[in-house]
Structure 1
Amino acid sequence: MLLFSLFFLFISKVNCYGFGIVPEFGRYPSYARYPVQVYPVHYSLQESHFAPQAMFLLQQNPQIIQQHYPWTSPQVPTKPEKHIPPKNAVVDLVPGSDENISGHLKISTILHPYKAVHIQGEIYNLKPGLHGFHVHMKGDLTNKCKDAEGHFNPSGADHSSPDSASRHAGDLGNIITPAGGQTTYVNIVDRMITLGDGGVNDIAGRSLVVHADKDDLGKGGDAGSLATGNAGARVACGLIKLINGV
């Protein structure tokens, strides 16, 4: 009996590599003697509260301990998220069917709190009222903006309003020219289109077109409404040109 007691006392004070045994932690109650019952996975070697003997084991032969207790492996620091600078573009409007129209717009990406594209700027000499405002397929501004082709529509959906889940990507609704005002202020945020990412809804290199009439948002009840919103002639257009540092 005495020999058995001495043997038990001996193995409780030594580190037995082969059996993965570490001495009990003097500052913890008896039910918390081993790492499996005490330590969360996210503790690193440096942050660990292991008793000095256990720390010695980890430092001298971590492979053996980590084989039995994989949660004791040191954390690998994660790389910080790479900063993605916003993309920017400018649009200089040229006359289409109306020689008096001009304007300048700036387009930029928004990254927080959600990803979107912000279009802002000023257009001059539009008639008071609502005017259809769309992204068109091509950046070709010739032939009074007709060579810009149709609405940018990679999904093949019917024409609709900007807040519709099913719409042309280029459907940006209407802009408003106030009564008696010669300046139309544009301020649009859209979450469907993208800028400069090479994705299916990327508008870089395409064109923005201003129309003579109101866009009926696909609610006109005819084929023209589902194609163009019956927004009328193209009074001005501009190439969406990516830039840096603006």
Structure 2
Amino acid sequence: MAAAIGTTALVLAGCGGGEGAGVEETPATAETTAAAEAGAGSRAVLRDAEGAEVGSVSFSEVSAGTEVLVEVQGLEPGFYGLHVHATGLCEPDSTAPGDPGTTGAFLSAGGHLGSADAEHPEHAGDLPALLVTEEGLGFLTAVTDRFGVQDLVSDEDGSAVMIHSGPDNYANVPERYAPDGPDEATLGTGDAGARLACGVVE
């Protein structure tokens, strides 16, 4: 959004006539342009398995890290797991990478970003849960220092944002329920359930 605003300011300055037509970029505009060149305008459109758009996610660089802005609509009320996945493919009927026998919605997006190096909730792509209101609307703003905007788009296979069908427990399972600790599924996804909506980061 910031990049779009900066671009609009430049267009308006260039369209002016008469005196002041050659207005120079202000420091704020120059900063916005630099941020845009760094990839600060990355965005993902979220769609369900039927292809219906349910929301969007945008990423921008801020002083503390990467700001994540999420807006969704039309979902059932409640909490939903929200993660960045390691592969930029959102195929509604696909095969899990490395497991040809497993198929389902958006499995082509692979695991969580950074899941090869840590367990949930320490994956780079693990984000706060998304709360959807009784009206079916959800809004989330969070800042993470676990990845930069360029990390989402710079590798060959990209990345994707995923909304899961259930809440994320962040592998926080008390010993009274699991004396041996969280199982493999919990450490992988926080028991967030099926993949409900997906968007490729662009």
TM range (shorter): 0.5 to 0.7
Stretches of 4+ moved more than 2 A in 1?
A: 82-86, 98-101
Structure 1 gaps of 5+ residues are 1-81, 161-166, 197-201, 242-246
Letter of the 1:226 counterpart? L
1:174-198 deviation per Cα after TM superposition (whole angstroms, max 9, x unaligned): 11112x22111121211111111xx
Cα deviation code 1:14-38 (max 9, x no counterpart): xxxxxxxxxxxxxxxxxxxxxxxxx
Which of 105, 112, 120 is matched with 2:57 structurally?
105
Q: Say yes or no: does 1:224 pair with 2:185.
A: yes
Q: 1:126 aligns with which of 59, 75, 90?
A: 75
* 1:148 shift after superposition: 0.4
Letter in 1 for 2:80: H
One-letter code of the match for 1:139?
G
Q: Distance in 2 between matches of 1:99 and 1:137?
A: 21
- Matching residue of 1:157: 118
Mark the structure with the bigger radius of gyration: 1
Over the matched positions of the two proteins, sequence identity in percent amounts to 26
Aligned length: 144
Q: Which residue type is aligned with residue 194 of structure 2?
A: A
RMSD: 2.1
Per-residue deviation, residues 40-95 of structure 1 (Å, max 9, x unmatched): xxxxxxxxxxxxxxxxxxxxxxxxxxxxxxxxxxxxxxxxxx96822221111111
Aligned to 1:39: none
2:185 match: secondary structure = helix
Instruction: Give the alignment of 1:136-155 within 5 angstroms.
Output: 136-142=85-91, 143=93, 144-153=105-114
Alpha-carbon distance in structure 2 between the residues aligned to 1:99 and 1:91: 14
Q: TM-score, normalised by structure 1?
A: 0.54
Q: Secondary structure at the match of 2:128?
A: strand
CA contact 1:101–1:126 (8 Å) conserved in 2: no
Q: Is the 8 A contact 1:173 1:217 kept in 2?
A: no
What secondary structure, in the 3-state scheme, does the structure 2 residue paired with 1:219 have? coil
Residue 101 of structure 1 deviates from its aligned partner by 5.6
Tell me the alpha carbon deviations over residues 84-135 of structure 1, each in whole angstroms, 9 at most, x when there is no partner. Answer: 8222211111113x7666112221111x3x3x11111311122111100001
1:32-181 paired onto structure 2 within 5 Å: 85-86=34-35, 87-96=40-49, 102-110=54-62, 112=63, 114=64, 116-142=65-91, 143=93, 144-153=105-114, 156-160=117-121, 167-178=122-133, 180-181=134-135
